[in-house]
């Protein structure tokens, strides 16, 4: 049961956190917007359900990487819960990004050895 | 996040998810889907909201607590649905936990608590030991040497109890308990004054020493917390003193169980007890190095071990003993043997963080026995509640099956059951604490009566509450584990089937085991209680060498009233009392019978010459008045007893008891022999033995025969005196006449310790009575609980076998046979319980051996009575179920089947 709300590709939890933080770099957004943005940018590759965002968002909030507030949307007369990146969140994003880069490079070096090494 | 925000956060989350869903739905409809299809698609896109919410709750970090709250809510609902069960279980648990907590609170107060002083773990008690005896008394010069020369003690203090000191405040006088303390007493202990100041080292050396510090309780009860207390004048034993301070409320002295109303400096001994102090003489208490009269405690320096401190005190003490020995020179009781005795003394340091050990020694064994008893009672309680829970678990089989079928984890199910048990345990614990609060005071009342009234405060403090909490949870785990464990074996598909009782048989097997266990433990308790009760009865029936009934006791203290020569007063009291109608005879003695005063004094008997190096045999010397043995109705074996003519100026005489005569003279007639008591009153002259009497138990009913030497108290007058009055009527009825007569002679004469000899004997067995009455109460409780357990089990058995009984009856079984079947099953359980309980009791009763009197631990009569009692109880418990079984209507039983 629990598997259904995880992204189909088995997105690692930390990666989802990173993606959310990166999305919020553009400015405050509510849950639906964050979900849509990730889906659109990955061309629906991740095929995740919106729902899986919320436990992650609340976890990030518990860690003080984001803050949230109910605000009226600029385009319509309704309140949404907007998430904002905090200063610690910004730092965390840098950390996660560099970790991800290191891993991706490590994996890449194994999978596609470059000419100069061979 | 704070836990109380969870509900708000949960609503917030719900709203958040809803708005996401609405947005998604709008988008889908804009994409051209129908209303219903759009909603469906939006739901798919969002995912399982319930799961999302659960996972979000996990992210908040309070999930385990939320689950616990859920379990608790559910447990409360379950218990409220069956209030009968809940109340029964809570009451049973409350009794068990309450008993354990009450007894523990006493153990805590009497045995475990440290003194309420600064760093009590550094305190040590100094003992003065030789190869034979352990003394706790030191002379003042020895104490000063130890105090001044020690490099391992941060300080030393000395004190001496002053019993029955006469305190006169504003013209009204009363008796109080006091102590003489060295100047260092309060500073070394770290006890402060809450009014004025405590006694200080400067008071000890001051020539003017008439200062007194009072205890908080005395300030409260006697002075109503008068804020102007400091500077008030009082008379102590008729000498003027001035109150300089009040000690902290927690402080009751260094002897747990005793109270200290007043404290005066050591050198005040000269004014409060001039006879004892002998100021200015060669035996002056403040200068004589051989007069051991002070108890001494010390405080170890930080980082110094007791062993190291003892080693460093040894040379100082040895030197003091050499000085003490040498200081005997020229005194009448000086002899090589006495001198040698001093040189044999060694100093020993005992831990004293809990104060002096006498109360602990007195109540250690009794209280731990009672604790063991309540421990067993608690086990019975657990078995009882476990049985109740088992019966309920069976009834809840269907509910468990439903929960399992809906996907509840087995771990979660076990946790749910344990939560219910712990809730029961804690509720029982709360009731128990209430019962314990009331019970510990009743228990204390049992301890307080006695020769040395025990003053203890038994507060429900954190230690006691912690104990109650621990016991509650522990019992809950014990009784809750069995049903919880069985719950996980329920098979959902079979459990849901109609009318299916999958494990009734299994439940019965566990239930029967529990009942057998209860019978066994109750039997141990009942046998133990029986042994103790019979011992107490034996003690009460025991012939102590005198006739205990119809004797009135009272004590007077003429020194306080200003008498110098007490003999004429005593003679007047005796002659006036003897002429009261209903009084047969009367006699004084220095100590009342069965008081704890023992005077071990070495004597020498003419004839058997001591061989070289023999330590003189100590005997107990009791000064008594004329007609003492006639009054006590003790047989005189040979010679005569003292008369009014044995007084100052007539030849000195003595009476020995049979043990002493046999010890020194074998079968030789002691009458006419001479005896000398060196080292006693400084008089080594020979006195003639004029009588021999039967041994009597003068200190303690259990004491082995002591060597006793009686002296005529009119030849050696001492201050206070007890009177024994033999009456022809009930001593309580003679009391007012007797006391009225004494008061008529001198209204200023303090009269105290008025009671009958019977009461005095009863008070001397206070520990025995404490243990016996508590084990009786708890034994009865155990029987009752076992009875309830047995009844429950048999009722359940009969109930679940109604169909079978119906068939048996339909096939021709008679009602009597059915009833016999139920009784037979009970008997089987009983036999199994006895087979375990009797050997267990034989084993356990060996630990009681030292408490028993006049019977063996394996006393067959007690065992038989206990077993018979158990059998009667068991049969009574199964009577109702048997009747119900016999009255089953076969038609109806078969129809329901």
What is the full DSSP assignment across B421-462? HHHHHHHHHHHHHHHHHHHHHHHHHHHHSSSS--B------H
Query: Alpha-carbon distance B576 to B738, whole Å?
Result: 9
Q: Are B306 and B349 in contact (CB under 8 A)?
A: yes
CB nearest to B49's CB, from A32, A51, A80: A51
Query: Alpha-carbon distance B588 to B573, whole Å?
Result: 10
The dihedral through the CA atoms of B265, B271, B277, B280 has a sign that is: positive
pLDDT for the residue B461 = 83
CB nearest to A54's CB, from B1, B16, B44: B16
pLDDT for the residue B834 = 94
Cα separation values, B835 from B232, B398, B486, Å? 70, 38, 28
| Total length of chain A | 118
Measure the CA angle with vertex B624, ends B620 and B628; round to 5°.
Answer: 120
A54 touches chain B (CB under 8 A): yes
Cα separation values, B399 from A90, B78, B394, B408, B711, Å? 51, 11, 10, 11, 85
Distant-in-sequence, close-in-space partners of A14: CB < 8 Å, separation ≥ 6: A96
Chain B residue numbers with beta carbons less than 8 Å from the beta carbon of A64 are none
Helix (H) or strand (E) holding B160: strand B153-169
Put simply, the answer to whether A35 touches B20 (Cβ < 8 Å) is yes
Query: Alpha-carbon distance B417 to B240, whole Å?
Result: 71
pLDDT tens digits, one per residue of B103-131? 999 888 888 888 888 899 999 999 988 87
pTM of the model: 0.75
| Residue B138 burial (CB count, 10 A) | 27
Burial B831-869 (b: 16+ CB within 10 A, else e): ebbbebbbebbeebbeebeebbbebebebeebbeebbeb
pLDDT for the residue B175 = 80
**Across chain A, what does the average pLDDT equal?**
81
Q: Are B374 and B133 in contact (CB under 8 A)?
A: no
As a whole number of Å, the CA-based R_g of chain B is 37
A1 touches chain B (CB under 8 A): yes
Cα separation values, B797 from A71, B506, B823, B830, B896, Å? 67, 12, 12, 16, 17
Cα separation values, B795 from A74, B501, B787, B825, Å? 74, 17, 12, 12
- ipTM reported for the complex, 2 dp: 0.81
Put simply, the answer to whether A5 touches B23 (Cβ < 8 Å) is no
Chain B residue numbers with beta carbons less than 8 Å from the beta carbon of A81 are 12, 15-16, 19
Beta strands, E only, A1-118: 29-30, 66-72, 79-85
Put simply, the answer to whether A49 touches B49 (Cβ < 8 Å) is no
Compute the nearest-CA separation of A62 from chain B (Å): 7
Distant-in-sequence, close-in-space partners of B448: CB < 8 Å, separation ≥ 6: B454, B455
Residue of B nearest to A57 (CA): B56
Burial B345-381 (b: 16+ CB within 10 A, else e): bebbbbebebbbbebbebbeebbebbbbbbebbbbbb
Alpha-helical segments (H) within B644-730? 658-665
Q: A7, A101, A23: which is closest to A66 by C-alpha?
A: A23
Q: Provide the percentage of residues in chain A whose pLDDT is more than 70.
A: 84
Chain B residue numbers with beta carbons less than 8 Å from the beta carbon of A1 are 48, 51
Residue of B nearest to A59 (CA): B59
Average pLDDT of the residues in A90-101 = 91
| Total length of chain B | 897
Query: Alpha-carbon distance B667 to B652, whole Å?
Result: 24
| Residue from B45, B62, B63 whose CB has the most chain A CBs within 10 Å, to mutate | B45
* Low pLDDT (below 50) residues in chain B: 500, 502-503, 611-614
Q: B1, B424, B552, B317: which is closest to A61 by C-alpha?
A: B1
Average pLDDT of the residues in A43-64 = 82
Q: Are B525 and B377 in contact (CB under 8 A)?
A: yes
Chain A residue numbers with beta carbons less than 8 Å from the beta carbon of B61 are 62
- Whether pLDDT at A117 is above 60: no
Compute the nearest-CA separation of A51 from chain B (Å): 5
Residue of B nearest to A51 (CA): B46
Cα separation values, B13 from A2, B52, B278, Å? 19, 10, 90
Question: Which residues from B are below 8 Å from A when comparing CB atoms?
Answer: 1, 12-13, 15-17, 19-20, 23-24, 44-49, 51-52, 55-56, 58-61
Residue A6 pLDDT grade (very low, low, confident, very high; cuts 50, 70, 90): very low
pLDDT for the residue B213 = 95
DSSP-derived secondary structure letter, B260: -
Chain B residue numbers with beta carbons less than 8 Å from the beta carbon of A52 are 47, 52
Q: B606, B599, B601, B604: which is closest to B618 by C-alpha?
A: B601
DSSP-derived secondary structure letter, B680: S
Compute the nearest-CA separation of B884 from chain A (Å): 53
Exposed, middle or buried, B625 (CB in 10 Å: 0-12/13-18/19+)?
buried
A4 touches chain B (CB under 8 A): yes
Beta strands, E only, B29-133: 123-129
Residue of B nearest to A33 (CA): B20
Q: Are B184 and B147 in contact (CB under 8 A)?
A: yes
pLDDT for the residue B680 = 53
Burial A50-89 (b: 16+ CB within 10 A, else e): bbbbbbbbbbbbeeebbebeeeeeeeeeeebbbbebbeeb
Residue A1 pLDDT grade (very low, low, confident, very high; cuts 50, 70, 90): very low
CB nearest to B52's CB, from A5, A59, A81: A5
Per 3-state DSSP, chain B is made up of helix, strand and coil in percentages (nearest 5) of 55, 15, 30
- Whether pLDDT at A11 is above 70: no
What's the start-to-end Cα distance of chain B, in Å? 57
Helix (H) or strand (E) holding B76: helix B63-81
């Amino acid at each position: 049961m629990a598997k259904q709300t995880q992204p189909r590709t088995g997105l690692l939890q930390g990666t989802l956190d990173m993606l959310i933080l990166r999305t919020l770099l553009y400015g405050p957004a509510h849950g639906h917007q964050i979900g849509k943005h990730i889906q659109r940018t990955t061309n629906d590759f991740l095929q995740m359900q919106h729902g899986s965002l919320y436990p992650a968002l609340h976890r990030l909030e518990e860690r003080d990487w984001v803050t949230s507030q109910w605000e009226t949307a600029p385009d319509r007369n309704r309140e949404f819960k907007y998430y904002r990146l905090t200063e610690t969140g910004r730092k965390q994003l840098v950390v996660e990004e560099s970790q991800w880069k290191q891993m991706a490079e490590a994996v890449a070096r194994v999978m596609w050895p470059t000419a100069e090494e061979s | 996040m704070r836990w109380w925000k969870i509900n708000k956060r949960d609503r917030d989350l719900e709203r958040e998810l809803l708005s996401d869903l609405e947005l998604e739905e709008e988008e889908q409809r804009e994409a051209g889907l129908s209303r219903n299809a759009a909603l469906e698609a939006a739901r798919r896109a969002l995912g399982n909201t319930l799961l999302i919410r659960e996972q979000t709750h996990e992210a908040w970090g309070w999930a385990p607590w939320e689950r616990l709250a859920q379990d608790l809510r559910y447990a409360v609902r379950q218990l409220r649905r069956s209030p009968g069960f809940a109340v029964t279980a809570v009451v049973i648990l409350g009794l068990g936990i309450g008993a354990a907590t009450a007894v523990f609170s006493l153990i805590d107060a009497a045995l475990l608590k440290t003194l309420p002083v600064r760093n009590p773990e550094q305190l040590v008690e100094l003992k003065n030991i030789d190869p034979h005896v352990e003394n706790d008394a030191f002379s003042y010069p020895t104490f000063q040497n130890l105090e001044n020369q020690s490099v391992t003690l941060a300080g030393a203090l000395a004190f001496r109890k002053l019993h029955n000191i006469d305190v006169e405040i504003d013209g009204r006088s009363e008796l109080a308990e006091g102590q003489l303390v060295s100047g260092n007493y309060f500073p070394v202990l770290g006890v402060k004054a809450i009014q004025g100041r405590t006694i200080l080292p400067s008071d000890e050396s001051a020539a003017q020493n008439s200062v007194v510090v009072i205890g908080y309780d005395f300030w409260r009860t006697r002075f109503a917390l008068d804020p102007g207390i400091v500077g008030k004048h009082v008379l102590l034993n008729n000498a003027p003193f001035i109150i300089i301070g009040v000690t902290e409320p927690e402080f009751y002295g260094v002897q747990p169980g005793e109270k200290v109303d007043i404290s005066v400096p050591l050198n005040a001994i000269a004014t409060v007890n001039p006879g004892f102090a002998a100021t200015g003489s060669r035996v002056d208490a403040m200068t004589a190095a051989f007069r051991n009269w002070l108890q001494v405690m010390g405080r170890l320096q930080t980082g110094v071990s007791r062993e190291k401190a003892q080693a460093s005190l040894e040379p100082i003490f040895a030197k003091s003993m050499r000085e003490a020995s040498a200081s005997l020179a020229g005194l009448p009781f000086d002899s090589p043997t006495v001198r040698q005795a001093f040189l044999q003394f060694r100093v020993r340091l005992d831990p004293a963080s809990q104060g002096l050990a006498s109360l602990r020694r007195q109540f250690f064994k009794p209280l731990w026995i009672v604790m063991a008893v309540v421990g067993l009672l608690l086990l019975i309680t657990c078995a009882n509640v476990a049985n109740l829970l088992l019966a309920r678990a069976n009834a809840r089989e269907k509910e468990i099956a439903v929960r399992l079928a809906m996907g509840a984890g087995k771990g979660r199910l076990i946790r749910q059951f344990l939560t219910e048990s712990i809730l029961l345990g804690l509720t029982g614990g709360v009731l128990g604490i209430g019962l314990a609060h009331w019970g510990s005071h009743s228990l204390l009342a049992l301890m307080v009566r006695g020769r040395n009234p025990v003053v203890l405060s038994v507060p429900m403090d954190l230690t006691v509450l912690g104990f109650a909490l621990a016991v509650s949870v522990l019992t809950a785990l014990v009784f809750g584990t069995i049903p919880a464990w069985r719950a996980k074996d329920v098979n959902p598909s079979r459990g849901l089937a109609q009318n299916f009782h999958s494990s009734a048989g299994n439940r019965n097997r566990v239930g029967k085991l529990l009942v057998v266990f209860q019978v066994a433990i109750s039997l141990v308790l009942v046998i133990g209680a029986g042994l103790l009760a019979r011992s107490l009865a034996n003690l009460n029936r025991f012939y102590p060498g005198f006739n205990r009934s119809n004797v009135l006791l009272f004590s007077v203290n003429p020194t306080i009233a200003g008498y110098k020569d007490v003999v004429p007063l005593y003679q007047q009291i005796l002659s006036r009392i003897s002429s009261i109608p209903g009084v047969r005879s009367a006699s004084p003695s220095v100590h009342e019978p069965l008081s704890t005063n023992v005077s071990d004094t070495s004597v020498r008997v003419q004839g058997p010459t001591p061989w070289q190096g023999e330590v003189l045999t100590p005997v107990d010397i009791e000064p008594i008045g004329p007609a003492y043995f006639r009054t006590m109705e003790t047989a005189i074996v040979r010679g005569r007893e003292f008369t009014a003519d044995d007084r100052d100026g007539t030849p000195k005489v003595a009476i020995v008891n049979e043990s002493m005569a046999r010890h020194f003279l074998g079968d030789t007639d002691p009458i006419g022999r001479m005896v000398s008591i060196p080292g006693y009153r400084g008089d080594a002259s020979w006195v003639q033995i004029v009588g021999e009497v039967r041994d009597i138990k003068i200190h303690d009913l259990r004491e082995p025969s002591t060597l006793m030497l009686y002296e005529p108290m009119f030849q050696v007058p001492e201050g206070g005196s007890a009177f024994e009055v033999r009456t022809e009527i009930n001593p309580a009825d003679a009391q007012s006449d007797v006391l009225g007569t004494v008061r008529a002679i001198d209204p200023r004469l303090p009269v105290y310790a008025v009671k009958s000899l019977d009461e005095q004997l009863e008070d001397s067995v206070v520990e025995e009575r404490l243990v016996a009455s508590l084990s009786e109460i708890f034994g009865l409780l155990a029987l009752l609980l076992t009875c309830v357990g047995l009844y429950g089990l048999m009722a359940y058995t009969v109930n679940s076998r109604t169909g079978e009984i119906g068939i048996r009856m339909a096939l021709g079984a008679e009602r009597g046979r059915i009833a016999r079947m139920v009784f037979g099953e009970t008997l089987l359980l009983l036999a199994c319980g006895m087979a375990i309980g009797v050997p267990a009791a034989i084993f356990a009763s060996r630990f009681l051996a030292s408490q028993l009197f006049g019977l063996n631990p394996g006393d067959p009569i007690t065992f038989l009575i206990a077993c018979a009692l158990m059998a009667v109880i068991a049969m009574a418990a199964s009577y109702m179920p048997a009747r119900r079984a016999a009255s089953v209507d076969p038609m109806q039983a078969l129809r329901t089947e």
